[in-house]
A = this chain, B = another copy of it.
Amino acid sequence: MLFSEVATYLNSDLQGDDLEINSMNELSLASTSQLTFAVNKKYAKELTSSKAKAFLIPQDLVEFLPEYVSYIICDDVTISMAYVTKLFAPKPIDFNALASVIGKDTYIDEMAKIEKGALIGSNVTIMAGSYVGSNAKVGNNTILYPNVTIYRDCIVGDDCIVHAGSAIGSDGFGYSHTKIGEHIKIYQNGNVIIEDDVEIGSNSSIDRAVFNSTLIKKGSKIDNLVHIAHNCEIGEYSIIAGQTGLAGSTKMGRNSVFGSQSGVAGHLEIAPFNTFAARSGVTKSIKDSGKTYAGFPLTEHRLWLKTQAKISKLNSSKV
């Protein structure tokens, strides 16, 4: 799409030369062919060093732009950015994709749906009611139990198991909010990548990234009714027990272990080899490895036990 078409859509003027854009990305990751955006002065420094050539910015960031770029000045960049994501959003189904390719010794139930452009490996089992979207990939030896949904463009590796009812690649929960309290959808134009040897329980939801990929690394095991939000990155051999929820863009190292009903806030970085007891509520990044945590707010597990003992004594105290 031409950047001038974006300007027209936003009813704005394009500053600088017109150029071809093939997608959107965040400031730090955008390539020369991607449209990016900076919301406010906090991003001034990142803006200066961006590789992108096309920007949505507020007036007061113009001076921080790199040289020889094009831009559109927006009253509210978060709102304009949301509107523009729609321009780059693929349709739910790509009817123009090539025929799907199915490997040998693969069983696909006649009541499963494989969209065009899907690539299905060898020795795969896809049971009734399951769905593999346009241009999605399912690796060798993988099993999709009934009623699994793999959204378009998502990738499931080799030797994976996905249990009934799980949804891989549903939209991340992202909106920009207008001054009168309406919510403008930020179309989620990324995907989900599930590496090899991952098992996902039943009725779990793993959301696609807004840009780029939500990533579940190899050997990780995810239980039932788990919620993994957009742009999360789960390290290798992690274990996430039932009904745990991870908010968006959190990255955790390998062999992270979460007990049931845990919750993790968004945009955190969690060092590898940490264990979180059931119902842990993680709200800050964790730099150390090899520890066991519990509680909400989170503390080390042994401290949590001590605190709970203190709390239970409150009733007999005069406080």
Contacts and interface: CB of A to CB of B under 8 A. Distances in A.
Interface of A: 92-93, 107, 109, 111, 113, 125, 127-131, 133, 143, 145-147, 149, 151, 161, 163-167, 170-171, 173, 175, 181-183, 185, 199, 201-205, 207, 219, 221, 223-225, 227, 229, 237, 239, 241-243, 245, 247, 254-255, 260-261, 263, 265, 273, 278-279, 281, 296-297, 299, 303, 306-308, 310-315, 317, 319
A262 to B, nearest CB: 9
Contacts of A167: 145, 147, 163-165, 202-203, 224
Contacts of A143: 92
B128 A147 contact: no
Contacts of A227: 223-225, 242-243, 260
Nearest to A115: B128
Given A113-B128, A202-B205, A315-B310, A225 B223 contact: no
B170 A163 contact: yes
Contacts of A278: 247, 263, 265, 281
Nearest to A265: B278
Given A261-B261, A317-B319, 11 more contacts: A92-B145, A131-B146, A145-B167, A151-B164, A163-B171, A175-B221, A205-B225, A243-B263, A245-B260, A263-B278, A297-B312
Tell me whether chain A's interface is mostly helix, strand or loop, or mixed.
loop
A113 B224 CA distance: 23
B319 A310 contact: yes
A126 to B, nearest CB: 10
